[in-house]
Structure formats: C-alpha cells, structure tokens
A = this chain, B = another copy of it.
C-alpha cells in the first residue's frame, strides 16, 4: 500500500526486521531515507484527533468554535488601552455565551462541572491569551476563591455578580515582597470585636498587592489574602472579600493602587498594585470555609494544624496550574502546526537536484528541530488529559480525600513547569525554523511567545513547583514510590489506598536489573521496547531521589542553618529529579493513550512518535545513563542514531500529525500556514519553464565556462 505523504510519496515499513541491524551498524551503513519494503502504514488522522481531544472533546470543540469568532480574537498591534478594552468586551461576550460559567453551582446557573470548565477555558488561548488569563482571573481565581474558600452565604451573595461580570474582581494574593512564598505576606486583617469588622491594612511598601489582573482598571472588588489576627493571635493567611472601587471606578476610601503598565505580554489585562490603609470590612466578608471568627473574636477552624490549613486553602486554587498546563500545550500544538505546514512547503538550496530546491522538512536538522517537539507536545496533551481527569475527580467530590488532593497538587506541580517551558521552547524553535517570516507578528509565534512567557513563573514559579514535587517524592520515597511496577502516573490517578502499600519489588532490585542492561541485553532494538523505555525512565527518577535522600540524611542531626545549607547543596539535583518524574508521567500518559488506539497502523505510527519522545528524553539525559551504568556506550550511541532514523520515518506523517490537533484556519491565522508559499513556487517554476521554452533564457556563466573548457579540451 502506498501512502501519499505531503510533499513526497513514500512507503513506510510496518515492521522492519533490519532496523536492529541497521542501527547497530550505524557507523558502517548509512540510512539514506525510508526503506521501501512491502506493508506500509496508513495514519488515520481522525482517530488521532479523537485521541488528542481527549475526554472533554465536545466541550473543547465548542470552545474552539467560540475562539474562531473574529470578535473574540486578538487584534495585533493594538495599544495597551485598546487591547484592554477589547478583552473586557470579549469577557461580556463570554458571559452571554455561558460556557465560562460551567464550574459554578447549578443553583446559581452553573453546571457544577469542574473538569469541563477548565477544558473549555484552556481553548480560549487560541483566541487571545490575554482573554484566557483575564477570564482565569475573574472566574478561575477571584470567583474560585469565593466558591472554594467561602461558604454558601458567600457564594449566594457574591457569585451572581462575579458570574455576570457585574463585579469584575482582582485576586489579591501576591505582594511586591512575596510571590512564591505566600505564607510570608505582610498584609494584615485584624478583627475588631467592638465593631465586628476586619481591618485590612498594608503595613509597608513590600506588602502592596502586586501583578493583580483587574486591579489597574476594571476591578470593583477583590479577594484579599492577609494574615488573620484576632485576640492577639495571628492565625495565618486567610482570604477576605473586599470592595475596592465605587460605581464611578474610583478607589474606595483607604484603598489605593497603581497600574503595572506595559508588560512583556498579556497586555489585554490590566495588571496593577493595590494597598489598604485600615480598610474596614464586615466580619462576614471573611471567606470562612476553613477558618472562622465569631462575633467575640474567637477563632475556629475545621483544620487544627495551621500549616495544613494553609496548604488546604491554597490547594483549592490548583486549577490555575491545571489550566496553564493545558493552554500552554495547546499553544505548542498551534505553533507546530504553523511551522510544520510551512516547513513542508518552503524550499531552500538545491543540493539534491538540478532544478527543484529541497523542502525544509526534508533536511535532517529541520526534522530534528520540529519532530521531537511534536512528540513532546503529544506527550503533554495526553498527560494533561490525565491531570484534568484527576482534577475533575477531586473537585467533583468523587475522589476528594486528602491524599487525592495532594496527588492532584503534585501532578499539577510536575506537569505545569514542563509544559509551559516546552511552549516557550517550541514557539521559539518554530519561529526560527520559519526564518524572517517567523518573526513577522502576523505569523503568531512572537506574539504567543510574549504572552506565554509569564506562564513559567505565575501560578507557581516553575522551579519552586518542581521543588515541591521533589519534596513529595522524598517524603514518599520510603513508602508508596517503592512500588514501581504499576507505573508512576497510575499511582496518582487510579490507585486506591490499599494499592499504595509497600511492595517487596523495591527499586533497588529494579536498579540492579537495569544496571545489567549494558552487558546482558545489547541489542539496540530493545530501545524501542516499551518496557525498556519505562524502566530507563522510572529507574532514573528513583535513583536520583534515592541519592538525594542519602545526601540529605545528615540534615536531621544538624542545626537549622546547616540543614538548610545541606538542602541547598542538593537544590539543582532536586529540581532535576522532579523534572525526570514529570517526563516519566508524560511518557506513561503517551504510552497509555497509544495502547488505547484500536486502528493498528495508526497505533504503529503513534508508537514511533512515542518512541521518539521516550528516546529524546533519554538522549537529553544520556550522560546520566552512562555515568550510572544504565546504558553501555554502544547502546547510548544507538539512541541518537535511532532518533535520526525515527524523525526520517515520521517525516512523511508530519503534516497529518499536526492536522490531527484539529485547528481550523480561524485558529491558525498565519499567512505562512496557508498554501501561499507553494503557490509562489509554482509561479516561479512556471516562469522559468516558460523562459526555457521561449529560447530566450540567458545561459549561466558557469555553464558557459564549462562549455568553453570542454571546447578547448577538444581542440587540443
């Protein structure tokens, strides 16, 4: 069977028995393109599209239709003021449409659909990341604080205005002095029993609330995080509902602020600062789900430990991280769709033929630049669907234990850093792969990059999040993470308490088994075995965590300062281990998704793509595998050689694989993603053909000189 690939016709080997030998002898035999053997592989784009859209495909499709409406889309080059005004307008259109209200209680007109809400919300990044994030501020942060930190009275009182956008609001958590370290914020909320009010106060400049969406212009209320002080005791950070502006848009007495002005991106959002001078709010405005103050000022909480209470409150806000993971992955997919379509048309330099130039995507380096990132984007997409499923289970209450919430937070903290960094890396590589055309604002990359830049540090700085993950891995090191045979992802998502018990098959054994690979199983073909990839990736996480645990052991016997120094000496290693854990989760999600594909040949192509992802991760960490004796030198060399083979094998499917993301022209909106380049080439080709036929074509001086040389030779 012949598959017509975009750009050139190819036959692909379904199972090439010579692969193993070929890769093993990579220094003797050179792969010069797809091997033509009988039995080629057809990729069913529809099957892949369904897999990529995942569990909430209907909602995503509806939200994409919304994002395809011109009035929802960004106008590039608008001034900051115009952009802000447009996004606010679009927010009202979102309310009209109703989709953004899915998360809210049914009694207030919502759908009580936490997972579906996030799925739909993420797709708004296709219209304008500013719209996505400003919606996130209004309904995902400001609204969610009321929903999750307040009780029914707050929901009934405040949510209708928030949902309808009658009350745009700011989520006032971060301060100038404290971003990631929320527990140390300086704003105080001191209870005054004599008037039954809280006094919200900003005691110094560093405690100004900072970077708040809706604060500079639109917000008329805010959910303010402050140290709750009553009866002389500081009960730690709590959240308060505080009106900030009057009906004329003027700050209420005691409240002041500044506009953050121009940012690196997301300029459709009016970020700003707020400060409070002894601002009094009713006692009732404490969002009191996890802690309350009675009329007399006595404090009560359902959670005895102040530390656990703090993390429980913050945990309700995990959806920000979840949605950034999804939106960033969508942006990567969009960028790759544009760059791969262009790379499949654009030609430059004619090395191989006398007439036509080479298509960019036929160059090895171009394949190496784009296809591993495509594989990674697939991995992120599948991992995100799993994360969102977990989120939905927790927030629907179907699986909402403390362990579930902790698992959800760890998953989000592991995946959000990887996907947001990946989006920047991918958008930049796409932009460069499209040359000067990639730098034109109209081709999307630079604009998306600028907007997504801040995703890597907001809703949890990526490096801080990865440290949280690593700490969790360290904590769990001696218990549940010993159980290596069911997969790391499964432990978060489907495992029950009973499954989490200690199992004899500990990681030491696994480590030893893997340590033998170099000598016992030399065939490079193994690299494409699912089990081998799984073990290599799993072993790395566990070994790294084990090593760090070993290094940190003396800490318990030392002073606080010495323990901190010791921990600091392992910081880089901790972050690296957490990253390895995230990569493993993604690989497992990719593998699980591929295994669910029914269509055999589609599954084959996606398995190649999964292999490309797995081997790219292993290649990135090759030094570790070599130093730790997990891969022999010979096997390590085969990794890169096999990646080169895989990208060439996947190249004919590249356009189909990005088409499977399912974006329409209204989402791409990039001139270079259309057929323009091909048309221009056809025109040029026709011009030269006509010139040749006319007999008027000038002779090339080089040809002339060659002819003269030949003539001279003959005359001698």
Residues of A with Cβ closer than 8 Å to B?
Answer: 27, 30-33, 76-77, 79-80, 174, 176-181, 184, 186, 203-207, 210-211, 227, 229, 232-236, 260-265, 299, 306-307, 348-354, 357-358, 362-365, 368, 424, 428, 431-432, 435-436, 438-442, 445-447, 449-450, 453-454, 456-458, 461-463, 551, 554, 560-562, 564-572, 575, 622-623, 626-627, 629, 633, 636-637, 644, 680-681, 683-684, 687, 698-702, 704-705
Contacts of A704 in B (CB 8 A): 233
> For residue A234, which residue of chain B has the nearest CB?
B698
Q: Which one of A265, A368, A439, A458 has the highest number of Cβ atoms from chain B below 10 Å of its Cβ?
A: A439
> For residue A27, which residue of chain B has the nearest CB?
B551
A583 to B210, CA, bound (A): 41
Contacts of A174 in B (CB 8 A): 436
Contacts of A571 in B (CB 8 A): 363-365
Contacts of A204 in B (CB 8 A): 680, 683-684, 687
A-B pairs with lowest CB-CB distance, top 4: A264-B446, A352-B564, A622-B623, A262-B441
Asked if A176 meets B680 with Cβ closer than 8 Å, knowing A569-B364, A636-B627, the reply is yes
Contacts of A456 in B (CB 8 A): 432
Contacts of A232 in B (CB 8 A): 698-699
Residue among B77, B363, B438, B572 making CB contact with A364, cutoff 8 Å: B572
Contacts of A299 in B (CB 8 A): 701
Contacts of A458 in B (CB 8 A): 436
Task: State whether B684 touches A234 (Cβ < 8 A).
Answer: no
Contacts of A33 in B (CB 8 A): 565
Apart from A261-B440, A364-B572, what are 6 other A-B pairs with CB-CB below 8 Å?
A180-B348, A262-B441, A264-B446, A428-B453, A438-B457, A626-B636
10 residue pairs bridging A and B, Cβ less than 8 Å apart? A30-B554, A30-B566, A77-B80, A180-B348, A181-B348, A207-B684, A262-B441, A262-B442, A436-B457, A446-B453
Q: Which one of A184, A352, A567 has the highest number of Cβ atoms from chain B below 10 Å of its Cβ?
A: A352
Q: Could you tell me the distance in whole angstroms from the C-beta of A511 to the nearest C-beta in chain B?
A: 16
Q: Could you tell me the distance in whole angstroms from the C-beta of A23 to the nearest C-beta in chain B?
A: 13
Task: State whether A439 touches B454 (Cβ < 8 A).
Answer: yes
Task: State whether B32 touches A565 (Cβ < 8 A).
Answer: yes
Q: Could you tell me the distance in whole angstroms from the C-beta of A340 to the nearest C-beta in chain B?
A: 17
A368 to B627, CA, bound (A): 21
Contacts of A575 in B (CB 8 A): 365
Task: State whether B687 touches A203 (Cβ < 8 A).
Answer: yes
Q: Could you tell me the distance in whole angstroms from the C-beta of A418 to the nearest C-beta in chain B?
A: 14
Q: Could you tell me the distance in whole angstroms from the C-beta of A312 to the nearest C-beta in chain B?
A: 15
Contacts of A623 in B (CB 8 A): 622-623, 626, 636
A623 to B632, CA, bound (A): 11
A565 to B306, CA, bound (A): 66
A200 to B33, CA, bound (A): 42
> For residue A299, which residue of chain B has the nearest CB?
B701
Task: State whether A566 touches B32 (Cβ < 8 A).
Answer: yes
Task: State whether B179 touches A435 (Cβ < 8 A).
Answer: yes
A94 to B177, CA, bound (A): 42
Contacts of A27 in B (CB 8 A): 551
Q: Which one of A33, A357, A565 has the highest number of Cβ atoms from chain B below 10 Å of its Cβ?
A: A565
Contacts of A362 in B (CB 8 A): 568
> For residue A566, which residue of chain B has the nearest CB?
B30
Q: Could you tell me the distance in whole angstroms from the C-beta of A63 to the nearest C-beta in chain B?
A: 26
Task: State whether A264 touches B431 (Cβ < 8 A).
Answer: yes
A260 to B368, CA, bound (A): 30
A497 to B351, CA, bound (A): 32
Task: State whether B568 touches A206 (Cβ < 8 A).
Answer: no
Asked if A263 meets B569 with Cβ closer than 8 Å, knowing A30-B551, A205-B680, A206-B680, the reply is no
A301 to B561, CA, bound (A): 76
Task: State whether A177 touches B680 (Cβ < 8 A).
Answer: yes
Contacts of A363 in B (CB 8 A): 568, 571
A235 to B701, CA, bound (A): 5
Q: Could you tell me the distance in whole angstroms from the C-beta of A79 to the nearest C-beta in chain B?
A: 6
Contacts of A453 in B (CB 8 A): 428, 431, 439, 446
Asked if A261 meets B441 with Cβ closer than 8 Å, knowing A569-B32, A702-B306, the reply is yes
Q: Could you tell me the distance in whole angstroms from the C-beta of A453 to the nearest C-beta in chain B?
A: 6
Q: Which one of A31, A364, A463, A700 has the highest number of Cβ atoms from chain B below 10 Å of its Cβ?
A: A364
A453 to B227, CA, bound (A): 43
A457 to B349, CA, bound (A): 16
Q: Could you tell me the distance in whole angstroms from the C-beta of A488 to the nearest C-beta in chain B?
A: 23
Q: Could you tell me the distance in whole angstroms from the C-beta of A272 to the nearest C-beta in chain B?
A: 12
> For residue A467, which residue of chain B has the nearest CB?
B365
Task: State whether A637 touches B627 (Cβ < 8 A).
Answer: yes
Contacts of A554 in B (CB 8 A): 30
Q: Could you tell me the distance in whole angstroms from the C-beta of A499 to the nearest C-beta in chain B?
A: 34
> For residue A632, which residue of chain B has the nearest CB?
B627
Residue among B364, B461, B683 making CB contact with A435, cutoff 8 Å: B461
Residue among B447, B566, B626 making CB contact with A633, cutoff 8 Å: B626
A59 to B549, CA, bound (A): 55
Q: Could you tell me the distance in whole angstroms from the C-beta of A628 to the nearest C-beta in chain B?
A: 8
> For residue A551, which residue of chain B has the nearest CB?
B30
Contacts of A179 in B (CB 8 A): 348, 435-436
